[in-house]
Every structure is written in structure tokens, then in C-alpha cells.
Chain A
Amino acid sequence: MADRNHAAGLGTLKNKRKNVLGFMWKYKALYLISLPGLLFFVLFKYVPLLGSVIAFQNYNLFAGVTKSPWIGLEHFERMFSHYDFLKILRNTLLLGTYDILFAFTAPIVLALLLNEVRLVLYKKIIQTIFYAPHFLSWVIVSGIFVGILSPSSGIVNVILGWFGVEPIYFLGEDSYIRTVLVGSGLWRDVGWGTIIYLAALAGINPDLYEASNIDGAGRWRQTLSITLPALLPVITILFLLKIGDFLDYGFERVFVFQNPLNIQSSEILDTYIYKAGLQQLQYSYATAIGLFKSVVGLFLIAIANAISKKATGESLY
């Protein structure tokens, strides 16, 4: 009896599998079409991920991954005992913190302010201007900032000069470079960041405001009790993604502002990886740092996601 059931069970399982395979065969063209795209992700995303094992080797271009000697965690130990590395990590963490404090919150505030604008034409024009800088490359953004911050002819120093301030070489001093980096980031992307929030704001049911009006709630009260709660899911999701990028401030946006005078404060993991890896050819060491960065990012996102799931019910997965 039991045997029979077992056999029957196996039979349906077999049938089911056959059905699925038959179904897949019927739509084989779909799989064929998807093949190049899937190949892309395997080749350009997953193969280099596997290639990260060279972080545990003394990789040598001529020996390749298979024949290079394995040395365990040596590169990671070297990394943490290296004074420069700790300084660079500190720079990266500081920029990541400023990024969350300013670059993450500013678009939320700006979206709320834009949402109060009722003049349609004015709103349209101002949004057109706000979104535009996002389309400029970092090279161009740095060119513009270098120009306007120039100590001799830059418009910022000219204006400061009207108030009797001595010209400041913003890009040549350690103490200003982080401000310049965060500021140029805000300049380029703060408007762009509002788009998602504005979309969420447009989706709020107007009846809620109507009802709260009747209940005598003021604008401020409405913002706190209706608008912000409605934005919370979007804010949470974007915040989780941002946390995952905590060590990932971005290579280009920092590299284009670097010079020997500000390098002490502006060197971050990404730029250091480029210099150690592609300029000094310390392949394994640079990979170790890169792997460290990716793993920390993954951990941060997992932890933040777990906390958020418990606290707000929102999560990435």
C-alpha cells in the first residue's frame, strides 16, 4: 500500500516535471531570446565576483588565478595594520556620514517645499532647473566648481571679497574639501532626488487633508500626521539602499576633485583601490580592499533591513 502511494507520488512528480519541461519547450524561443542578457550578467557580474578570490592570493598576471600562490588573509592583515588605510577608511566613513546627514535628507525637505508651490508655471520652471545638473558628468561638475571656487577669479571668492574676506583656495585645503565634495553632490543631485518623493506626495489621497482640515489641523500638523507617514515607506526603502552604499561614496565624484593639497582628506577607498591596483599594480591587495568594501556593504544592508522589517514592516526583500 505504502509502496503504491510512493510510486504514485513519484509518478505525478515525474509527470509534473515532464509537464514543466514540455511547457518550457513550447516557449523555448523565450529562453533563447533571454540567453545573451543572462550571459551578460554571468560574464560581467558573476565571473569577476568569483575572481575576487585573488584577494587571498599573491596574484601574478602571468601565473593567473589557477597558479598564483595562496596566502590566506595576509592582505587583509596588511590592510588593517596600514596607517594610510585607516586614515582612508576614516575619510570614507566621514563622507558616508555626511552623505546620509545632508544628501539623503535634503531631497525630502525640498520635495515637501516644492509640494507647497501652487503656481503651476513657476513649479514647472523651477523643477526644470533643479533636475538639470544631474545630467552633467562629474568631470564637468568639477570643472564648474574649480572655476567658481578659484581663488583669483572664481565668482565665490569675488563675492566673498565684497565682504572683505580674503580669497580662499577651497580645493587646496584639507579643511574645505569635504564641504566641496558634499556641496557639489548636493548641487548636482538634490533636485533629482525629489522626483520619487514628489511622485509619492502626488499619490496621497486629498480626502485625508480635507478631513483633517475639518478636524481643525493646521498645515504643520498635517505635514507631521499625514504627509510624512505617507512618505515613510519610500524614505525607508531609499534609506536601506543608501546604507548599503555607506562605503561607496563613488569614485568619479571624488577623483575629479583630488589634488596633492587635499589628498589627505579626499582619499577614499574607491580612489585608493584604483591607485593601489591599476597604478601600482598591487592586484591582490586592491582586490582585498574592494572585497572588504562589498562585504561590509552587504552586512550593513542586511542588518538595516532586519531592523527596518521589525520596526516599520518595510523591507527590501
Chain B
Amino acid sequence: MNNIFVDANRKQIAGRRRIDFTLRLLFLIATSIGVIALMALLIDIISDGISMLRPELFNNFPSRRASEAGMKSAIVGSLYMLLIMAPLSFLLGVGAAIYLEEYAKKNRITRMIQLNISTLAGVPSIVYGILGLTLFVRELHLGRSLLAGAFTMTLLVLPIIIVSAQEAIRAVPKSRRDASYALGATKWQTVSRSVLPSSISGILTGVILAMSRAIGETAPLVMIGALTFVAFLPTGPMDSFTVMPIQIYNWVSRPQASFQALAASGIIVLLVMLLLMNLSAILLRNKYNKHM
């Protein structure tokens, strides 16, 4: 009698272990597919592009000869755009997040706004391009300028920044705010000296990740007419410009094999830039976390 129970139990346990093992294997595969895909991409790109990764890529303007072509104007264009949109989207994004989390009453209108922002975060980027074309290029007469591009990209990343900043602010324990109020601080004093400093790492991480999305975007900028051949560096925000993904796209579509290699080396530069930005997000997070 006893034996039967023990055996049944063992069978059951062995069965559960098998399920446990298969699921574990399944999850491991799920994880490794992403990693393997990234590795395969990196290796493929690096083997294609390493030969063209040379000083000319950074020092030269676009050219019809692959051996002389560089992406100086594209790199500088991407950086300038980033310089304009980073403070702008930070200001607007974090401001909106503070308002929604700290000031706004939790009523139907706030919920509507919230829903809208979450929806906007999922809108395809080309749609922002069309909006930017109508609003900034045509209506506000900014033309196909750096400023119009940066504004369009700001719109694109705003919802992402707002959502991540909101989450960071929400993660600050209520007790911190209560302590601040108990000392007689006003709302703004509480927000600026207690809530923001404790959530700044999360906010900055969100902002940097949003920025790295923006420098990889092509579609909205093609829409507002960022150009392909720009053999000068923009000197002001009203100048024409080009960005790295557009330059890469143009090189990929050339018939000559050497331009394909050039495109691959352009991708390496873009990837390194993205990795650096993500790395700085991690470093920032660690730095501020220590001060918590």
C-alpha cells in the first residue's frame, strides 16, 4: 500500500521535473535567439564593413567614388539634431510627466491624456514624418531644415520619454513626499528637491534610450526631406542637413559592391554610437543610484 503511493509520487515528481526542464530549455532558447541574432548581425556587418572603416569615412563628404566617400556631413547632422532635440524633448517630456504625476487631478481628462500618450508611443514613425512635413516644414515655414527635423524627432520621442519619466517618478516612495511636506516644503520644493533627484536616473535612462531610437530613425526624416547629398556642414539650425541612416540607405541601394561595404562600415559607426549611448545610460543610472 505504502509502496504504491511512493511510486505514484515519484512518477508524478519525475513528470513535473520533465516539464520543468523542457520549459527551462524553451526559455533559454527564447533568450538566446535574440542574442544569437544580434551576434550574427554584428559579425556579418563587421566582416563586410571593417575594410572601409577608415579616416576618410569621418573626414570626407559623400562622393560618387566609394574610395573617397565619407559620411562627415551625416555624422555631424545626426549630432546637431541630437543637440537640438535632447534639451527640447527633455524639457517637454519631463515637464509633462511631472504635471501628470504630481499636479494633475486623477480624473477622466487625465486618463484620456494618459491613454493618448500611450497610443502615441506606438504610432509608426512615418506618421510623425507626415505631421512634421505639414506642421513644421509647410505651416511654420521652417523648410527642410535641421530645426524642422529636430522638432519632428522631438514629437516622435516625446511619448516615450513621458511614459518612462512617469514610471520613474511613480517609483519614488510616497513616504519621501510626505516627509518633505511634513517639513513645510511647497509642492514645487518637494518635486524639485526630493522627487526629481530620486527619479533622475530613471528619467535620464529613458531620455537616452529615446535619443538612441531617434538617431536610428530614417522614415520621418525622409518624409520631411532630409537630403542625401550634402557636402557642407550645417552652420545654423536653418540649414539643410542629412543624417547617418539616410546616408547608409543611399549607399545600400547603389549597384557597386564597394558601396555596400561602405554602407556596412556606416552601420558600424551608427551601432557604436548606439552602444555608447546605451552604455552611458547604464553608467548614469549606476552613478545616481549610489547617491540615493
On whether the two chains bind one another, the answer is no
By a beta-carbon cutoff of 8 Å, the part of chain B in contact with chain A is: none
By a beta-carbon cutoff of 8 Å, the part of chain A in contact with chain B is: none
